Chain A
Amino acid sequence: MPAATPRVNDFTIKIGTVNGTGSASANTLLMKSLFRSGIPVMGKNYFPSNIQGLPTWYEIRVTRDGHVARSGSVDIMVAMNAETYARDVKEVAPGGYLVYDSTWPRPALLKREDITVFGVPLARLCNENFNGVRTRILMKNICYAGVLAALLDLDVARIRELLAETYAKKPQLVDSNMKAIQLGYDYTRANFACPLPMHVQKMDGTGGHIMIDGNTAAALGCLYAGATVAAWYPITPSTSLMDAFKMFGDRLRVDAQTGRKNFAFIQAEDELAAIGMVIGASWNGARAFTATSGPGISLMNEFLGLAYYAEIPAVVFDIQRVGPSTGMPTRTQQCDLMECAYASHGDTRHVCLYPANPEECFYMAVQAFDLAERLQTPVMVLSDLDIGMNDWMCPDLKWDDSYRPDRGKVLSKEEILKLEKFYRFIDKDGDGITARTLPGVHPKAAYFARGSGHSQYGAYTEDSAEYQQVLDRLLKKWATAKKLMPRAVIDATAGASCGIVSLGSCDGAIREALDVLRARDLGVDYMRVRAFPFGEDVEKFLAAHEVLFVVEQNRDAQLRALLTLETEVDKAKLRSLLHYSGLPISSSFIVEGVLAELQPRPEIEAQGAARG
């Protein structure tokens, strides 16, 4: 047994259960009671593509320093699933703890000498105190929350307060849940030395923050941006974005007098139709969006090309999941970077935004509509399952009441009347963006939107020069887009020659890794790109560093590929750190990856030399 040094508010708990047994409410309860006690937390849900029966895990990182990524190790394991006991036991870090249901003896669990094992007869306790199979299973999971409360010194009153809020309309559930909590709590206090050296202490680290998932935040952004048409086809992990939009719409977008809804919500027959509806609605002057994942983007390719060429705004959220093909639908990756950037046949390129957390999902949702309408082109917001479906602690979302949407160059009736004749694709301002008109305004402004070859007058053409003129003007628009994109976030120390380049949900892990690396006196700069096309700031950062680690969550180094294609960077400078297991990237993965390159052990160098 290793010596017990106290570790307050800095450890990771992992809970292994069976899908569909109600563990989600126990885990949420634990997370929220920590958060309400002022302790920063991170929660990650590793769930199966299944409704009931497959293993599922939930990881809670108690992090007084406010880290938002996985640490990479597990200190306390609650092993509730017999099927995964073996691997769960193996995963506990030396000096850690294991809690299991001792209703059934598991001598094999005690084989590890370097961890402490607590057996709590959860099933027996619940069988003795509750009736009905379903209730007993559910309560067994609530019961482990009580065990953890005792071990970690969690405030039980806080838990009761949360239960009372959750079950405000069903008070009898508060009592039964509380009873289960108490059973676990009392048994643990009576049989083990509580609290553990690893425990929690109230602090003041969560003020001005919320716990929210990225899909909910993005949906709020769409609502606040004034989106009125939402069309979609269900696909994990994007569905909750649309569910949230509907929920908020039903509450905040209903006319008080008439009861009518100031939005259209359309469940499409497939993703092809969903993007078609978005394009039709945007063409007709509404702010419209869809949410999908990689397989949906594959299906939307044809229409995305049309919107690019016919110059129609569209906002698409891609909540990335593990590919290729169906892949692992409930695991996370950043594997659609190339797909989204160049979706569709022919010379097409699309504006992409890369939020790093739920907070940015909210603000970038608004930005996406402004950019789509300003640039008259599809804008894709590339979130991922980790951001979209996990609850993240982030600063309160703020809304500026003076915000007004940028509807771009849409001619009013008065402007149309002043024109001698309207031509859809004549570049009057020299920025590559041409004025459009909406149906129903004036017959003089009518034009024909089409995906076939067209001249700057908007007419069908098969004339090479006329075709090329439009295609070249689209490049000019692309150059304008570069200037309008959100800037990269750059963390530069003086004189570092080494930098990390990354995007999206890698951010939290990288920022934590930077702290570790800098504490070792390794000067490492960091640039998080937030949009495609890349701007001047990205070029400058790439040029200013000799070694660049490109950190991303896919196998094929897609961000690195985009950088080599779309910037002037010398490819040889870019070294990849690729994480594509389907779990969110951890800080330790990055620290180890950078150290392996910067401080190579002699044998690795020798091997490298032998390979040539």
Chain B
Amino acid sequence: MTFIAKPKVAHPSLPKNPLGFTRRDYEGALSTLCAGCGHDSITAAIVEASWGLAIEPQNMVKLSGIGCSSKTTAYFVSGGHGFNSVHGRMPSIAMGANAANRALTYIGVSGDGDTLSIGLGQFCHAIRRNLNMLYIIENNGVYGLTKGQFSASADLGTKAKKGETNFQPPIDPVLLALTLGASFVARSFSGDKEQLVPLIQAGLKHQGFALIDVLSPCVTFNDHEGSTKSYAYTREHYEPAVHADFVPLQSEITVDYQAGETLPVVMHDGSRILLRKLDAAYDATNRSTAAAYIQERMKVGEHLTGLLYIEESQRDFHDINGTPDAPLNSLPFESLSPGSKALEKVLARYR
């Protein structure tokens, strides 16, 4: 049950972030997912990333739709408001919430069913608006809560637990996002915390829509022989294209990279993301070659991971709409209602 709070015992030796919070302060209710679920690892990565970025917990807004993945927003940052909405419609809630208050940090957690089937339309349009949020897909290729049906991300030829084979081609959120013009596209694996944490941090800092598709095996319905989203299969076909390190503003660069191998990308607030190429052919700032390379590796069965595309110059929703820097929900009524004199002028047109 999600109302069971974790006991908060803060050991004095626990490390604190600049706000004085320990990692425990970024946790949430106890998970009710199956033991070993990939989603719980992603939750842990979100906790780590938020603690590392020292975000005020109340400034985090957690949004989700319906499904196993969507439950996880209750399992991190209990000091932030959460909204567990309806199936596939989280992007519209996020859009409205962001329109009302652009100053908060929005993180949406969805699944492959929630995003790629019932919610495909809203997902696409959130990308088109370059809605400023981090959107994580916890992708396991299967409907868990309804007990094992294929999702739209199930690979061709993959086998369900009951033995059926999938003959419909998958929708790949990463390729889809790239073709829709997304400004931040990444893929990772729930079991790779080292890669996932800096990606989440970069995504939270990105000014615009940041997508991270996280392969997250379902231990109950999709972790068997014949499944292409099992732990074993994923580890075997996992291919980091680029390694990302997130460097918060005013932090020292502690990792020593060799010149020519790293590409620093400056985020809107001045913090940086360092991309270390593992494959010489990969360029994370070129949309078309990135898409071609992802597809090429896909043909040989490899899940290319890392920050696959980034573009920091794209205008987000508020920039295009021309809204003020101050959140709309903070504007005083006097600045919103034009008053009786202005009304008289308006009415002159209707006489």
Contacts and interface: CB of A to CB of B under 8 A. Distances in A.
A84 B124 CA distance: 46
Contacts of A231: 92, 95-96, 99
Nearest to A460: B2
A446 B104 CA distance: 14
Interface string A262-285: 111110111011111111111111
Given A398-B340, A399-B340, A401-B339, A280 B92 contact: yes
A303 B86 contact: yes
A284 B61 CA distance: 10
Contacts of B350: 210-212, 216
Contact of B92 (A260, A268, A457): A268
B64 to A, nearest CB: 9
B328 A278 contact: no
Interface residues of B, number: 61
Given A264-B328, A286-B328, A273 B351 contact: no
A223 B329 CA distance: 14
Interface string B78-104: 111111111001011111111111011
A452 B84 contact: yes
B84 to A, nearest CB: 4
Contacts of B86: 302-303, 306, 451
B288 interface: no
B81 A449 contact: yes
A262 B335 contact: yes
Contact of B333 (A260, A405, A461): A405
Contact of B336 (A253, A398, A400): A253
Nearest to B62: A448
Given A220-B346, A396-B347, A286 B122 contact: no
A276 B93 contact: yes
B340 to A, nearest CB: 4
A284 B89 CA distance: 16
Interface string B302-332: 0000000000000001100111110011010
Contact of A228 (B83, B124, B331, B338): B331
Contacts of A280: 83, 92-100
A226 interface: yes
Contacts of A438: 81, 329
B101 A279 contact: no
A280 B84 CA distance: 11
Nearest to A366: B337
Interface in A232-284: 248, 252-253, 255, 258-266, 268-270, 272-284
B136 interface: no
B108 to A, nearest CB: 11
Interface string B207-233: 000000000000000000000000000
A105 interface: no
A498 to B, nearest CB: 38
B338 A252 contact: yes
B168 interface: no
Contact of A279 (B56, B96, B124, B125): B96
Indicate the member of B74, B78, B340 with the most A CB atoms within 10 Å: B340
A532 to B, nearest CB: 24
A224 interface: yes
Nearest to A463: B1
B347 A397 contact: yes
B58 A282 contact: no
A455 interface: yes
Contacts of A405: 333
A165 to B, nearest CB: 9
A442 interface: yes
Interface in A280-327: 280-286, 288, 302-303, 306
B333 A446 contact: no
Given A220-B346, A229-B328, A284-B101, A443 B80 contact: yes
Interface residues of A, number: 80
A231 B84 CA distance: 20
B14 interface: no
Among B323, B329, B333, the one with the most A-chain Cβ atoms within 10 Å of its Cβ is: B329
Contacts of B17: none
A282 B318 CA distance: 17
A252 B122 contact: no
Given A439-B58, A451-B86, A279 B333 contact: no
Contact of A260 (B61, B94, B322): B322
A405 B83 CA distance: 25
Nearest to A405: B333
Contacts of A118: none
B343 interface: yes
Contacts of B338: 223-224, 252-253
Contacts of B264: none
A225 interface: yes
Given A280-B94, A439-B101, A440-B103, A261 B58 contact: no
A435 to B, nearest CB: 14
Nearest to B102: A264
A272 B122 CA distance: 9
A447 interface: yes
Contacts of A404: 333
A212 B86 CA distance: 39
Contact of A443 (B58, B92, B93, B97): B58
A459 B321 CA distance: 36
A441 to B, nearest CB: 6
A253 B59 CA distance: 27
Interface centre among B103, B122, B325, B350, by most chain A C-beta atoms within 10 angstroms, is B350
A539 B343 CA distance: 37
A229 B99 contact: yes
A490 to B, nearest CB: 29
B347 A260 contact: no
A262 B324 contact: yes
A276 B85 contact: yes
Given A226-B333, A248-B346, A269-B121, A443 B321 contact: no
Contacts of B95: 231, 266, 273, 276-277, 280
Given A252-B342, A452-B84, A281 B337 contact: no
A576 to B, nearest CB: 36
B93 A279 contact: yes
A450 interface: yes
Contact of A270 (B84, B97, B121, B337): B121
B248 interface: no
Among A223, A269, A455, the one with the most B-chain Cβ atoms within 10 Å of its Cβ is A269
13 contacts: A35-B351, A220-B343, A224-B343, A228-B331, A263-B328, A269-B124, A277-B96, A280-B99, A284-B61, A397-B347, A439-B81, A443-B80, A461-B3
Interface of A: 35-36, 210-212, 216, 220, 223-229, 231, 248, 252-253, 255, 258-266, 268-270, 272-286, 288, 302-303, 306, 396-401, 403-405, 437-452, 455, 457, 459-461
Given A253-B336, A303-B86, 6 more contacts: A262-B331, A266-B95, A266-B129, A303-B89, A397-B347, A448-B81
Interface of B: 1-3, 56-59, 61, 73-74, 78-86, 89, 91-101, 103-104, 121-122, 124-125, 129, 317-318, 321-325, 328-329, 331, 333, 335-340, 342-343, 346-347, 350-351
6 nearest A-B residue pairs (beta carbon): A280-B96, A276-B92, A443-B79, A459-B3, A286-B100, A277-B96
